[in-house]
Amino acid sequence: MNYFSLNNKSHSSSFENAVIKGLAPDKGLYFPENIEKLPDSFFKDLPNMPQTEVAYQAIKQFVGNEIPEAELKKIIAETLDCDFPVVHVKDNVYTLELFHGPTLAFKDVGARFMAGSLGYFITKNEVGKVTVLVATSGDTGGAVANGFLGVEGIDVVILYPKGKVSKIQEKQLTTLGKNVTALEIDGAFDQCQDMVKQAFLDDEIQSVRQLTSANSINVARWLPQMFYYFLAYRQLASEGKDIVFSVPSGNFGNVCAGMVAKELGLPIKHFIASNNANRTITDYLETGNYEPRPSVSTISNAMDIGNPSNFVRILQLFQNEYGNVKENLTSFSYDDEVTKEAMQEVYKETGYVMDPHGAVGYLGLQEYFKDHPNEIGAFLETAHPCKFRETVEDAIGKQIDIPDSIKEVLDKEKKAISIKDYAELKSFLLS
């Protein structure tokens, strides 16, 4: 499988190069040159296949022969060593729980798959030290830190916005040490992301450090997220209906990966991008005008992104035609108050505890059902409610349990370097 740059389609790259470099030389995102549908026999057998085999069949065309089958299956097994249960919430509403990994967030899958792939390529080709430079609005930082912790030949540098991630999220990305360094930025996530992109454009830094990104702009972080949709279908196939997915959306990598799963033939009826007050895509689908804007802070902080990087991939999937995008994707946006009300309502009605991101996904699914009452759908629960403990407990009026793994993190000392601007980031990377 080769990949092209979304800034220059004449530029071609192998999977290995795309993983190591993160971005194309023109700083465009990489996109697969073709997507071949999986055979009907795969979907017939899917409900009875082990989840690791499902994932292998889904991802293998995107890796090609660049990672041997045995090694790729090993990476997948280490990536998917936890459960991804579909839970019935009420009526025709299900949730896909993606928070059973080591950092209790959906980004564990992409981070671990990328760590395994990048680690393989570094060892195989002796490419030297690689620096993974990543911005986080919440869960990415902890997942990347955990996934790359102790991987030989890799340094990890994580930028996060001061005071705009939860206490648990901050502890998960600032307490590991070893090859992981956390940089605390006095600003919003968009500033962190802009600084990372600027570093990739800086020839002086590139002459000293071999940079790659572990945000979902990297194909090895982005594509494995399609596993979720195959694993959800595997559990819901007996319903005998196509499924609607409501995806809490920030940088739009997750919902875009789901759309790739649909391109592979997975019978998904429709996608809903459920947004918080950062409604750039909601407005785009309503008006046809794409207008990025500064992000605003919300209780669902992992989605506080005003200029989602992966939306350009969604546009590519649908030939950059607004009508095609609108036919396949619906988007709704909700403020914090409505989100809290949903958390309270669902808990009182069913006893199910949602985190703020899952609650936004639930709201989007319920709104979609107003015009499509006979369909079934699943919203994605992307993080364990304990990661937003104060918000969740305030909404449901009850204390929630904290897993032992999180209790251990809370007792550790935060270690982060405060930086103000790009000049300070550059100075750090050159040191």
Catalytic site residue from 21, 107, 340, 387: 107
Amino acid (one-letter) located at 422? Y
Nearest-5° Cα angle at 272, 41 to 278 = 140
> How far, CA to CA in Å, does 42 sit from each of 20, 29, 54, 159, 299?
31, 30, 9, 41, 40
Distance CA 293, CA 34 (A): 32
Active site residue 107: yes
Q: Which distant-in-sequence residues (6+ apart) come within 8 Å of 281 by Cβ?
A: 249, 252, 273, 275, 308, 311, 331
Q: Which residue from 157, 179, 183 is spatially nearest to 170, judged by alpha carbons?
A: 183
- Long-range (24+ apart) CB contacts under 8 A made by 356-359 are 356/298, 356/299, 356/300, 356/388, 356/391, 356/392, 357/248, 357/300, 357/302, 357/303, 357/381, 357/382, 357/383, 358/95, 358/248, 358/382, 358/383, 359/300
DSSP 3-state of 10: strand
Q: Count the neighbouring beta carbons within 10 Å of the beta carbon of residue 235.
A: 17
At 106, list the tokens: 């959906």
Run of H or E residues at 271: strand 268-275
DSSP 3-state of 380: strand
Run of H or E residues at 88: strand 86-90
Distance CA 269, CA 241 (A): 9
Q: Which residues are catalytic?
A: 107
